[in-house]
């Protein structure tokens, strides 16, 4: 009896199950919904070709479908799992320099679920300018940002290799002779960094091409990196020390009187900014040595001056004009 209840009317039970599933599917799909979203358009090109210009990088799609599927599609678009992709079939051999194409975006380029209908695309047509790629060696320009620490400067810079091979559009690379590095931050560096070189830096993956009055940035590919050396030194400046009294060097008990036409001299000194700021004028001693002279008589002698290490006199010091005569008073000792 129980067996008959369970196994009986199987066809009727199966039909009831089918109807229940159909009603369930109808219930969840009976409401349709529209969706308008912006999706990214990517253009894939074969090896040896690059996209120089693209009239639109985003397109607006109008979709319609079951409510639950539209909600899922909206999430996929938000997560960038649904986007427009167009594959260029052009061969590099078919391009002498560059070529323009118009592509039409359809459902087959969007990867939509089967139950979602594409109502419209804007723009439907996108213009693509294709360029043939070539390889070329370009000179490397070192780009820096920031300034060394106060009192320091860059005396010399060197990069290796001095040239790199890049791949880019044939038309653009015809006019290009150099490529920049990624900007290197030298802010606050001192001579301590001299011991840490070389630094490794990357090549900027673009070049700048001039067309008339406009400068256009063109992407290129370079898989090399660069080693960089800088020579950081203390900044050299000059300082004029005025009215320094000239000292006379003479033997003890010198039996002559010495008179200077000009008793003071101005001295221009070159050295690091830090040293010049600390320089005390009292530590600078200009002098004239009369030890080897045979008085009496007027003389012209060079003014000399000894400076501390890493400081030097910029301009030649003038000669001193002296009048050396015998003492009128025997008790008078040698003086300036």
The model's pLDDT over 23-59, given as tens digits with 9 standing for 90+, comes to: 666 655 557 888 999 999 999 888 888 888 899 999 9
At residue 62, the pLDDT reads: 93
Place of tokens 């894939």: 44
Is pLDDT above 90 for 234? no
At residue 154, the pLDDT reads: 93
| 16, two tokens | 């009831």
Of the two residues 309 and 39, the one the predictor is more confident about is 39
Give the range among 66-70, 107-111, 152-156, 212-216 with minimum mean pLDDT.
Answer: 212-216
> Is the Cα dihedral 322, 324, 329, 330 positive or negative?
positive
Tell me the average pLDDT across 185-203.
94
Q: What percent of the chain has pLDDT over 90?
A: 39
Burial class (CB in 10 A: 0-12, 13-18, 19+), 284: middle
At residue 29, the pLDDT reads: 54
At residue 306, the pLDDT reads: 86
Q: Go through 243-279 and write b for each residue having 16 or more CB atoms within 10 A of its CB, e for each that does not.
A: ebebebebeeebebbbebeeeebebebbbbbebbeeb
Is pLDDT above 80 for 200? yes
Q: Rounded to whole angstroms, how far apart are CA atoms 288 and 300?
A: 10
Instruction: Phi first, then psi: give them for residue 235, nearest 5 degrees.
Output: -65, 130
List pLDDT tens digits, range 250-302. 888 888 888 999 999 999 999 888 888 888 888 899 999 988 888 888 989 89
Is pLDDT above 80 for 205? yes
| 244, two tokens | 């320094």
At residue 231, the pLDDT reads: 95
At residue 26, the pLDDT reads: 61
Give the range among 184-188, 300-304, 308-312 with minimum mean pLDDT.
Answer: 308-312
Is pLDDT above 60 for 2? no
At residue 6, the pLDDT reads: 52
List pLDDT tens digits, range 150-166. 888 999 999 999 999 99
Is pLDDT above 80 for 1? no
């Amino acid at each position: 009896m129980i067996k008959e209840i369970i196994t009986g009317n199987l066809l009727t039970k199966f039909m009831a199950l089918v109807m229940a599933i159909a009603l369930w599917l109808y219930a969840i799909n009976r409401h349709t919904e529209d969706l308008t979203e912006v999706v990214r358009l990517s253009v894939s090109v074969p090896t040896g070709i690059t996209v120089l210009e693209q009239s639109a990088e985003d397109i607006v799609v109008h979709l319609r479908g079951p409510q639950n599927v539209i909600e899922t599609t909206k999430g996929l678009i938000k997560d960038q799992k649904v986007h427009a992709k167009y594959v260029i079939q052009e061969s590099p051999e078919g391009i002498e320099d560059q070529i323009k194409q118009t592509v039409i975006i359809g459902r087959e380029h969007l990867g939509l679920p089967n139950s979602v209908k594409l109502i419209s695309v804007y723009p439907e047509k996108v213009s693509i300018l294709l360029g043939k790629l070539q390889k070329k060696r370009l000179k490397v320009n070192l780009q820096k940002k920031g300034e060394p620490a106060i009192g320091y400067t860059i005396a010399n810079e060197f990069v290796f290799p001095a040239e790199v091979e890049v791949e880019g559009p044939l038309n653009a690379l015809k006019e290009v002779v150099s490529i920049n590095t990624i900007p290197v931050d030298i802010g606050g560096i001192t001579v301590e960094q001299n011991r840490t070189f070389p630094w490794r830096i990357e090549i900027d993956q673009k070049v700048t091409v001039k067309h008339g009055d406009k400068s256009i940035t063109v992407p290129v590919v370079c898989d090399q990196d660069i080693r960089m050396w800088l020579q950081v030194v203390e900044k050299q400046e000059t300082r004029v020390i005025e009215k320094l009294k000239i000292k006379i060097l003479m033997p003890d008990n010198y039996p002559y009187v010495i008179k200077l036409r000009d008793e003071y001299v101005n001295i221009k000194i070159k050295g690091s900014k830090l040293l010049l700021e600390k320089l005390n004028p009292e530590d600078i001693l200009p002098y004239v040595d009369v030890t080897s002279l045979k008085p009496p008589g007027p003389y012209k002698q060079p003014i000399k001056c000894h400076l501390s290490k890493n400081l030097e006199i910029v301009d030649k010091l003038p000669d001193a004009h002296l009048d050396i005569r015998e003492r009128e008073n025997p008790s008078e000792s040698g003086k300036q």
